């Protein structure tokens, strides 16, 4: 079974600073995908970034990057140059090869302070 | 940019009533999903659907729930006799294929269901 752990229920960051949101995972699957989603207060789930377990390089998408450390089973999201609009819940998710459902963590609430 | 749409955005119903939540996945996607998120909790998988049949379902997806693709564009979740504990945000998602970045599941905006 897959398990995602997000240990930071809430985080604060100053506007324009960088912030790292932690995510660790547990799986016995040899191949898997890791995903981050943003959930603003309006409730929708917005896809941010994807990392495949065999990808050689850390994924980047604009201000988002994923610090993937396979040996540590961690896939931390780094948001650079935080903006007020980044305030939201952030969920880490993974999918293994046994089934195609996503397993989500409990989320981290990020607040960007002006 | 193509997106997953869901209707209604909000639904209030009486306990014991049937509800149908509707979704239009992204047009070239082949895999469809329903998830739910009880207020303040994490997102939980309900069911996945491929090639006009359920490919996987969770323990939550009991006989009260059913899914259907009635035509080429809609994907529905039916709850036959709602219970108070069915109150949640229900998300539909779709993905193009399995494997690589194309397996990214794109979520709709959700339907907030309140059972009274």
Q: Going by C-beta distance under 8 Å and a sequence separation of 6 or more, which residues neighbour residue B32?
A: B23, B25, B48, B49, B50, B67, B69, B75, B92, B93, B94
Token digits for A29?
């699957």
Give, for A108, the enclosing helix (H) or strand (E). Answer: strand A108-113
**B48 φ, ψ (degrees, to nearest 5):** -125, 155
Give the residue from A91, A88, A87 showing the smallest Cα distance to A37. Answer: A91
Rounded CA-CA distance B76/B18 in Å is: 13
Interface test with B, best of A3, A23, A100 (most B CBs within 10 A): A100
For residue B41, the chain A residue with the least C-alpha distance is: A106
The answer on pLDDT for B106 being more than 60 is: yes
Residue of A2, A45, A105 to mutate for B, most B C-beta atoms under 10 A: A45
Give the DSSP letter of residue B55. Answer: E
Residues 51-110 of B with CB under 8 A from A: 55-56, 58, 89, 91, 93, 95, 98, 100-101, 103-110
pLDDT tens column, B14-27: 999 999 999 999 99
Q: Look at residues B94, B32, B42, B100 and name the one whose alpha carbon lies nearest to residue B69.
A: B32
Band of pLDDT at residue A106, cut at 50, 70 and 90: very high
Residues, chain A? 114
Cβ-based contacts of A46 with chain B (< 8 Å)? 107
Tokens of B31: 């895999």
Q: Do B58 and A44 touch (CB under 8 A)?
A: no
- Whole-angstrom distance, CA of residue B33 vs CA of residue A19: 31
Question: Which pLDDT tens digit goes with each residue over B37-61?
Answer: 999 888 999 999 998 999 999 999 9
Residues of chain B contacting A34 with CB distance shorter than 8 Å: none
DSSP annotation string for B9-45? SEEEE-TT--EEEEEE--TT--EEEEEEE-TTS--EE
pLDDT band at B1 (very low <50, low <70, confident <90, very high): confident
């Amino acid at each position: 079974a897959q398990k995602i752990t997000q240990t930071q229920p809430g985080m604060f960051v100053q506007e324009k600073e960088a912030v790292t949101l932690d995510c660790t995972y547990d799986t016995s699957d040899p191949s898997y995908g890791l995903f981050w989603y943003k959930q603003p207060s309006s409730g929708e789930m917005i896809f941010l970034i994807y990392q495949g377990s065999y990808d050689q390089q850390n994924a980047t998408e604009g201000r988002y990057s994923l610090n993937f450390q396979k040996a540590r089973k961690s896939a931390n999201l780094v948001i650079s140059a935080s903006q007020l609009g980044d305030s939201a819940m952030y969920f880490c998710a993974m999918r293994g090869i046994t089934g195609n459902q996503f397993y989500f963590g409990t989320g981290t609430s990020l607040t960007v302070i002006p | 940019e193509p997106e997953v749409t869901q209707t209604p955005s909000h639904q209030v119903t009486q306990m014991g009533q049937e509800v149908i939540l509707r979704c239009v996945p992204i047009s070239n996607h082949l895999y469809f999903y329903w998830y739910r998120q009880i207020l303040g909790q994490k997102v939980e998988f309900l069911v996945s659907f491929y090639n006009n049949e359920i490919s996987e379902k969770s323990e939550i997806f009991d006989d009260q729930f059913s899914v259907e693709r009635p035509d080429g564009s809609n994907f529905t979740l039916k709850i036959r006799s709602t219970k108070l504990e069915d109150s949640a945000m229900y998300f539909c998602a779709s993905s193009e294929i399995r494997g690589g970045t194309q397996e990214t599941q794109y979520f709709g905006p959700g339907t907030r269901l309140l059972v009274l």
